[in-house]
């Protein structure tokens, strides 16, 4: 099978990482893959904030969970009150932000995130697309705390790190009945 297709099919969300930091060359390759994502009108409306300071990662985790506990949605409240870390002790977080005045910044940032996830897997680096960190972004000063440039909105976060386990996980069953053709 084609190596790229194999990487796409074998990538899984990783939620358990070794403590050691990923190498700079690997991080650079992952960010470069994101920069090469498709982008509407070639706007390239993304900005990447790399967080490797463990105190900052812990602060993001704690603040997001504090806000989750106040949610109107029961499962979010319950998740926020559990002792788990929503950043999974990953040594690196990459916050992907988009320039709010760009036409399709959300789609472009999502494409950049997908490229990051696939690139990480190709380097045998674990990754997971984090949604619950978005509660941290609800704070008025979150973008300022993270040094996100003015005019950019934080979108989602990717956790990166060396996988704690070498065990390969099988893909969940896929629904192939999702295609129709007009020929």
Alpha carbon distance 11, 122 (integer Å): 9
Cβ neighbours around 183 below 10 Å, total: 2
Flag whether 70 is in a domain. Answer: yes
Helix (H, G, I), strand (E, B) or coil at 124: coil
Flag whether 3 is in a domain. Answer: no
- Could you tell me how many residues make up the chain? 183
Flag whether 62 is in a domain. Answer: yes
Alpha carbon distance 168, 16 (integer Å): 13
Domain count, the chain: 1
What's the confidence (pLDDT) of residue 168? Answer: 84
Confidence band for 80, pLDDT divided at 50, 70 and 90: very high
Flag whether 43 is in a domain. Answer: yes
pLDDT tens-digit series, residues 22-46: 999 999 999 999 999 999 999 999 9
- Structure tokens that stand for 167 in this block: 């065990």
Alpha carbon distance 11, 124 (integer Å): 9
Q: What is the CATH number of the domain that holds 147?
A: 3.40.109.10
Alpha carbon distance 88, 129 (integer Å): 11
Q: Which domain holds residue 85?
A: 24-162
Residue 61 in this model has a pLDDT that exceeds 80: yes
What's the confidence (pLDDT) of residue 38? Answer: 97
What's the confidence (pLDDT) of residue 169? Answer: 83
pTM comes to 0.94
């Amino acid at each position: 099978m084609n190596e790229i297709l194999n990487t796409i099919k074998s990538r899984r969300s990783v939620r358990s990482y070794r403590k050691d930091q990923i190498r700079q060359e690997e991080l650079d390759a992952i960010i470069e893959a994101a920069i090469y994502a498709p982008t509407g009108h070639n706007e390239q409306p993304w900005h990447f904030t790399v967080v490797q300071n463990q105190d900052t990662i812990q602060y993001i985790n704690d603040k997001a969970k504090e806000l989750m506990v106040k949610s109107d949605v029961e499962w979010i409240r319950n998740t926020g009150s559990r002792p788990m870390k929503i950043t999974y002790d990953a040594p690196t977080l990459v916050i992907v932000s988009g320039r709010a005045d760009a036409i399709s910044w959300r789609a472009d940032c999502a494409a950049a995130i997908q490229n990051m996830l696939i690139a990480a897997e190709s380097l045998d680096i674990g990754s997971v697309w984090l949604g619950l960190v978005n509660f941290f972004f609800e704070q008025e000063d979150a973008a300022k705390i993270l040094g996100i440039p003015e005019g950019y909105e934080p979108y989602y976060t990717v956790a990166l790190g060396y996988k704690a386990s070498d065990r390969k996980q099988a893909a969940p069953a896929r629904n192939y009945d999702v295609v129709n053709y007009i020929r």
